[in-house]
Amino acid sequence: MTIYQPPSRGRWGDANFVEQALSESARRALTLSAARRAAVLATLLTEAARLRAEQLRRIQRRAEFELALTRLLSPETFATLSALTACICLCIAYLSFGGARIPAYASFTGRAALKEMRYGPLGVTWSIVRPAADWQSYALHQGDELFASTSVTITFDSGSQTVVAPGTRLRILSAHEGFVLIQGEIAVAVTPSPDGAVKFRVETVAGSATVKGTRFRMRTEHDTSVSEFTDEGWVVVANDAGRVDVSTGEQVHLRPKAPLKVELQTPHVAFQTRIEDRVISNVPRVPFSARIFPRATLIVEEAYSGKQFARYIADDAGWVKDWLPLIEGSRVLRFSQTAPDGRSSTPSQPIEIVVDRTAPTLVITRILHNGDVLHISGRTETGARVWVNGRAVELKPDGAFSFEVNAPATNSPVVITAADAAGNITRIIQQPKPE
pLDDT band at 321 (very low <50, low <70, confident <90, very high): very high
Query: Is there a domain that residue 227 lies in?
Result: yes
What pLDDT does residue 7 have? 53
Q: Are 112 and 248 part of one and the same domain?
A: yes
Q: Are 322 and 370 part of one and the same domain?
A: no
Q: Are 165 and 31 part of one and the same domain?
A: no
Least confident of 33-47, 160-174, 252-266: 33-47
- Exposed, middle or buried by CB within 10 Å (0-12, 13-18, 19+), for 238? middle
What pLDDT does residue 10 have? 55
Q: Are 115 and 240 part of one and the same domain?
A: yes
Domain tally for the chain? 4
What pLDDT does residue 174 have? 81
Instruction: Report d(CA 336, CA 123) in Å as an integer.
Output: 53
The two beta strands, 297-302 and 330-338, are antiparallel
Q: Are 105 and 197 part of one and the same domain?
A: yes
Phi, psi of 270 (to 5 degrees): -105, 135
* Angle (CA) 359 363 365, round 5°: 170
Query: Is there a domain that residue 186 lies in?
Result: yes
202 Cβ neighbours under 8 A, 6+ residues apart: 178, 179, 180, 181, 186, 188, 208, 209, 210, 218
Percent of the chain with pLDDT over 70: 80
Question: In 3-state terms, what secondary structure has residue 406?
Answer: strand
- Give the residue with greater pLDDT, 99 vs 38: 38
What pLDDT does residue 127 have? 81
Q: Are 401 and 287 part of one and the same domain?
A: no
Q: What is the mean pLDDT of residues 360-389?
A: 85
Q: Are 105 and 222 part of one and the same domain?
A: yes
Query: Is there a domain that residue 250 lies in?
Result: yes
Query: Is there a domain that residue 120 lies in?
Result: yes
Q: Are 368 and 325 part of one and the same domain?
A: no
Model confidence, pTM = 0.67
- The region, left, alpha or beta by phi > 0 then psi within -120 to 50, assigned to residue 143 is left
pLDDT tens per residue across span 149-174: 999 999 998 889 999 999 999 999 98
Helices marked H in 276-401: none
Where is the domain boundary, 311, 339, 355? 355
Q: What is the mean pLDDT of residues 58-69?
A: 83
The overall average pLDDT reported for the chain is 84
- What CATH code is carried by the domain that includes residue 218? 2.60.120.1440
Q: What is the mean pLDDT of residues 103-113?
A: 89
What pLDDT does residue 59 have? 87
DSSP string over 202-220: EE-SS-EEEESS-EEEEEE
Where is the domain boundary, 355, 377, 412? 355
Residue among 341, 334, 247, 351 nearest 299 (CA): 334
Query: Is there a domain that residue 77 lies in?
Result: no
pLDDT tens per residue across span 71-106: 766 777 666 666 677 666 555 554 444 456 667 789
pLDDT band at 386 (very low <50, low <70, confident <90, very high): very high
The two beta strands, 242-247 and 250-254, are unpaired
Where is the domain boundary, 328, 355, 382? 355
Residue among 126, 190, 183 nearest 154 (CA): 190
Query: Is there a domain that residue 205 lies in?
Result: yes
Question: Are the C-beta atoms of residues 44 and 12 closer than 8 Å to each other?
Answer: yes
Percent of the chain with pLDDT over 90: 48
- What CATH code is carried by the domain that includes residue 388? 2.60.40.10
Q: Are 43 and 189 part of one and the same domain?
A: no
pLDDT at 410 over 60: no
- Exposed, middle or buried by CB within 10 Å (0-12, 13-18, 19+), for 134? exposed
Query: Is there a domain that residue 84 lies in?
Result: no
What pLDDT does residue 1 have? 47
Q: Are 248 and 128 part of one and the same domain?
A: yes
pLDDT at 270 over 80: yes
Structural domain including 374 reads: 362-434
Q: How far is CA 46 from the centre of its chain?
A: 73
Query: Is there a domain that residue 31 lies in?
Result: yes
Q: Are 25 and 168 part of one and the same domain?
A: no
Q: Are 221 and 321 part of one and the same domain?
A: no
pLDDT at 50 over 70: yes
Phi, psi of 330 (to 5 degrees): -150, 155
pLDDT tens per residue across span 280-319: 999 999 999 999 999 999 999 999 999 999 999 999 999 9
